[in-house]
Amino acid sequence: MAALLAVENVTKRFGGLAALEGVSLSVAEGEIYGLIGPNGAGKTTLFNCMTGLYSATSGTVRLNGTEIQGQKPHQIVRHGFARTFQNIRLFANMTALENVMVGRHSRSHAGVLGAVLRCRRTRAEEADIREHAHGLLKYVGLSVRSHSLACHLSYGDQRRLEIARALASEPKLLALDEPVAGMNPTERQEMDDLFRKLRDGGITLLLIEHDVKLVMGLCDRVAVLDYGRKIAEGPAERVRKDPAVIAAYLGSAA
């Protein structure tokens, strides 16, 4: 399996605090890769470094062989790397459909002139954006709510909408930051099914998650971060028994 995402030696310091210290990992095409670790371990910081919200102090991030570390978020999306956020960041006062249509921005082109003249190409593109957005809402099971405001959706639906919006950019790699946090067991199971459906559809998933049961059942491989360092990586079963991981979560016997 070829590595779709290769993170090498990424370090991120905020002043004197090292949030990430020489983290390396590689995500293979077609797998579901889990990133776990105690609170404050640096998982979201790593996500932000990969997707361009932060620039890493040192280290490289390659997507399909292209260096993306140092690029702006909007450029990284274009390479086929989309993400969702831990604290849902939807466009709250736009409808579900409009949210997904914005997600299509990186795959459409109409500029001011196109918008003003509304020539045939712009109209076709606009129709395509709309159709694509409807399709994605259906895919995540939100068709009936497409004209509801994002802020009026239930929590679980907001999470789904964020995924649909991210999918609109046609990602090869989708990074999900705690996608099932705060959900009940039924909703979790539905999300689990959705993730499998995405993987089977050819999208590689990278997810930060606290729900050990979900991670162990779903992920092909797991990496564990603690205090900004990677302390374990490998198939879920092996990682679970790793003494360093147990120590990080439960504290070690002195």
Partner 1 sequence: MLKALHQRPHLTAILLAVGLAALPFLVGTGLGNSWVRVLDFILLYVLLAIGLNIVVGHAGLLDLGYIAFYALGAYLYAWLASPHFGLHLPFWAVLPMGAALAGLFGVLLGTPTLRLRGDYLAIVTLGFGEIIRIFMNNMNTPFNLTNGPQGMSLIDPVSIAGLSFGRPLHVLGVTVPPTYLYYYLFLAFTLFALFIALRLQDSRIGRAWAALREDEIAAAAMGINTRNVKLLAFAMGATFGGLAGGLFAAFQGFISPESFSLWESILVLCMIVLGGMGNIPGVILGAVLLTVIPEALRYIGDLQRSTLGHIAIDPSDLRMLLFGVALVAMMLFRPAGLIPSRQRKRELAATDSVATQEQGDLYDARA
Tokens standing for residue 193: 């099914």
State which residue, 203 or 224, has the beta carbon closest to partner 1. 203
In the list 3, 18, 28, 53, the residue contacting partner 1 (rule: CB under 8 A) is 53
User: Contacts with partner 1 in 159-188 (CB under 8 A)?
Assistant: 165, 168-169
State which residue, 7 or 90, has the beta carbon closest to partner 1. 90
Number of residues in the chain: 254
Q: Give me the torsion for CA of 74, 76, 82, 86, rounded to 10°.
A: -80
Residues in contact with partner 1, shown as a per-residue x/- string from 88 to 127 under the rule CB under 8 A: -xxxxxx---x--xxx-xxxx-xxx-xxx-x---x--xx-
Among 209, 228, 161, which Cα is nearest to 32's?
Answer: 209
State which residue, 73 or 235, has the beta carbon closest to partner 1. 73
Cα distance between residue 216 and residue 221, in whole Å: 9
In the list 66, 124, 155, 235, the residue contacting partner 1 (rule: CB under 8 A) is 155
* 85 sits near partner 1 (criterion: CB under 8 A): yes
Closest approach, Cβ 28 to partner 1, in A, equals: 24
Cα distance between residue 37 and residue 45, in whole Å: 12
Q: Quick check: 49 and 234 in contact, CB under 8 A?
A: no
Cα distance between residue 214 and residue 157, in whole Å: 19
Tokens standing for residue 199: 């993987």
* 15 sits near partner 1 (criterion: CB under 8 A): no
In the list 96, 136, 153, 167, the residue contacting partner 1 (rule: CB under 8 A) is 153
State which residue, 3 or 94, has the beta carbon closest to partner 1. 94
Cα distance between residue 206 and residue 194, in whole Å: 14
State which residue, 167 or 248, has the beta carbon closest to partner 1. 167
Q: Quick check: 199 and 30 in contact, CB under 8 A?
A: yes
Exposure b/e, 183-195, CB count within 10 A at least 16 = b:
beeebbebbbebb
**Which residues contribute to the site for partner 1 (CB under 8 A)?**
51-53, 72-74, 77-78, 82-83, 85, 89-94, 98, 101-103, 105-108, 110-112, 114-116, 118, 122, 125-126, 129, 148-149, 151-155, 158, 165, 168-169
